[in-house]
Structure 1
């Protein structure tokens, strides 16, 4: 027979069971969260650079997908001359062809829709910590950039200058295309179509490419068939 006393005991026991169960679930959830592996460490060459005129911070772990890390790969275009630079904007990758067999590959961000450029250009010259001289076409869209126009001498190099630590200047038939391969990319922007046409790299990668690049080499930028990820950054 179920007496008042036994009923009370069973009710208390049920209440205790109900209280204990969420704690077990909480432990399970905590264990599940702790089981998520930490992001892979960034290669050492993405560490902070302190011997440049301006400091370059380290790239935080987990902020760049491994497939966008700088790495040596098989050369996809072995018939092309050593030193050729090839940009595949839809893959968000830049290749520096080292030999018929090997290439150095870098992750990049590329031009947003309506601002991208494609074709074959000549690497006319390179600059360390370049000035940013805003072309008139950009000032028409963003009048607030007038202080950094060509006529006004551009923006001083250093932190805040979107050109970053290095720039490669692309010419076609002897004329400046106004498009550049340069540093200044943020980890969160890498691998996206977000700029006003230029090819942006992490500063660590831009320095590496600058040191490898060959004056007068071909720079081939494939046309993009994908939509933009966001409005241009500048």
Structure 2
């Protein structure tokens, strides 16, 4: 199979998608890979099925364009050595992976998009609960930086254009909402990139799979890297949610 390259029309479509995403306030001006990656032949039917369209969702989810997803970010069960208990969610910020720890030294691994410079964080908390097709409320500081978000100050309705996507898992520290989320995205090229305002983003198909398998109250550990900040945030942020 020849390497897959993006046509001029595809390039323009990709550029339009990035402009729309920037306008929605959930990316940055930092460089993001928009060219399709080279895929080793062939892509297995199992992977194609794993990232197929989900037409029966409340808002039908399109299939993932696998040209934009590196093979290492495919969802897969892998050996994983950790002292954390099964059920724990671990975010490897250095490698853009999220692990859901399982029994017998294994974990389910997902490719992730993470916080860009100045928005990284690390620490321990727990998954308080999850929501299907949640409302997104941008923090007031984000609205101040991006006035086009003023229309969503009281919340953006759910849907494919909502920055939280198909599912959101809400990260708490004790009884306090940290305002960080694990949430869905349809922007395939952002997986493996530092693009968010601190949240952990997974493809819609992956975040649905994770939400179906993570129990409320499960520990989440975000591993420290040289640039990450502590998990704690200003409690005055209230119910606003970064993306």
Normalising by the smaller structure, the TM-score range is 0.7 to 0.9
C-alpha contact 1:166 1:207 (8 A) present in aligned 2: yes
The answer for the alignment partner of 2:110 in structure 1 is 106
Task: Please report the TM-score for the alignment, with normalisation by the length of structure 1.
Answer: 0.77
Q: 146, 151, 155: which one pairs with 2:150? A: 146
Structure 1 segments of 4 or more deviating over 6 A? none
C-alpha contact 2:120 2:227 (8 A) present in aligned 1: no
Task: Please report the TM-score for the alignment, with normalisation by the length of structure 2.
Answer: 0.74
Q: Return the alpha-carbon distance in structure 2 between the equivalents of residues 121 and 212 of structure 1.
A: 18
Aligned residue pairs: how many? 191
C-alpha contact 2:78 2:107 (8 A) present in aligned 1: yes
Q: Please state if 1:45 is matched with 2:42.
A: no
**Larger C-alpha radius of gyration, 1 or 2?**
1
Residues 82/104 of structure 1: CA separation in 2 closer, same or farther (3 Å cut):
same
Q: Return the alpha-carbon distance in structure 1 between the equivalents of residues 184 and 160 of structure 2.
A: 11
Q: CA RMSD in A?
A: 1.9
The answer for the alignment partner of 1:4 in structure 2 is none
Runs of 5+ in structure 2 lacking a partner? 5-38, 229-241
Runs of 5+ in structure 1 lacking a partner? 1-34, 228-232
Q: Alpha-carbon deviation of 1:101?
A: 1.6
The answer for the alignment partner of 1:159 in structure 2 is 160
The answer for the alignment partner of 1:36 in structure 2 is 2
The answer for the alignment partner of 1:23 in structure 2 is none
Q: Alpha-carbon deviation of 1:146?
A: 2.0
Q: Alpha-carbon deviation of 1:159?
A: 1.9
Secondary structure of 2:85 counterpart: coil
Q: Trace 1:147-226 onto structure 2 (pairs within 5 A).
A: 147-149=151-153, 152=154, 154-225=155-226
Residues 88/119 of structure 1: CA separation in 2 closer, same or farther (3 Å cut):
same
Q: Please state if 1:95 is matched with 2:99.
A: yes
